[in-house]
Amino acid sequence: MNFVTREIRQSNSLTDAEKEKLFGWGVDIFGADDLNLRWRPKDVHFLMDLDGQTVSHVGVLKHEISVGGQLVTVGGVGGVVTLPAFQKNGYARELMLHAAEFLKQWQVDAGLLFCLRRRVPYYESQGWQVIYGPVMVEQPSGGIVSPLEVMVLPLSKASWPDGEVQLNSFPW
């Protein structure tokens, strides 16, 4: 029998070696390089290790945004990646569920992520919902409408408010 030890590990930072392994395995692995966006780093990282080898990652941060003039605390989710040899095994999905539970402990109103349109069904299958109104994000040149899809995962009893979203930050 071939036993695999499987562990979800939490870290406040990634080593250069972890960054290279997780994000340096291909060209434009998130498909967004041509957008030339500046990204905000995550505060907490969840890593899936198999037999001590890191194979998947999800990063989170806590941030207050404005939606239709109302302040909303969100848990930003980003850097969702699994090494190619380990994809299609549910590791990122498991980390996303773990991250959602963690965000509940942070007592945020919702999770919020940015993704390409082709990734929307993947996140919808996990309960995330597309925000259809404009989402303004910061960039070095000033505020712009997000060129990516923006999705929320409601975590509090309150429904997602209507209105324009002001991120007041770089996207994550």
Which domain CATH number covers 59? 3.40.630.30
Read off the DSSP letter of residue 142.
E
155 alpha-carbon distance from chain centroid = 15
How far is the C-alpha of 168 from the C-alpha of 8, rounded, in Å? Answer: 31
Residue 171 covered by a domain: no
- Distance separating alpha carbons of residues 68 and 52, to the nearest angstrom: 45
Domain-embedded: residue 15: yes
Closest alpha carbon to 82 in 96, 102, 99: 96
One pLDDT digit (tens) per residue for the chain, 172 residues: 566 899 999 999 999 999 999 999 999 999 999 999 999 999 999 999 999 999 999 999 999 999 999 999 999 999 999 999 999 999 999 999 999 999 999 999 999 999 999 999 999 999 999 999 899 999 999 999 999 999 999 998 778 899 999 999 999 9
pLDDT of residue 108: 96
> Domain of 61?
6-166
pLDDT of residue 45: 98
Q: Which two tokens stand for residue 25?
A: 């395995």
Number of domains in the chain: 1
For residue 118, tell me if it sits in a domain.
yes
Whether 172 is in a domain gets the answer no
Q: Is the dihedral of CA 53, 40, 135, 159 positive or negative?
A: positive
Instruction: Tell me phi and psi for residue 152, to 5 degrees.
Output: -125, 150
23 is a domain residue: yes
pTM, to two decimals:
0.94
Q: Is residue 1 part of a domain?
A: no
Q: Could you tell me if residue 66 is inside a domain?
A: yes
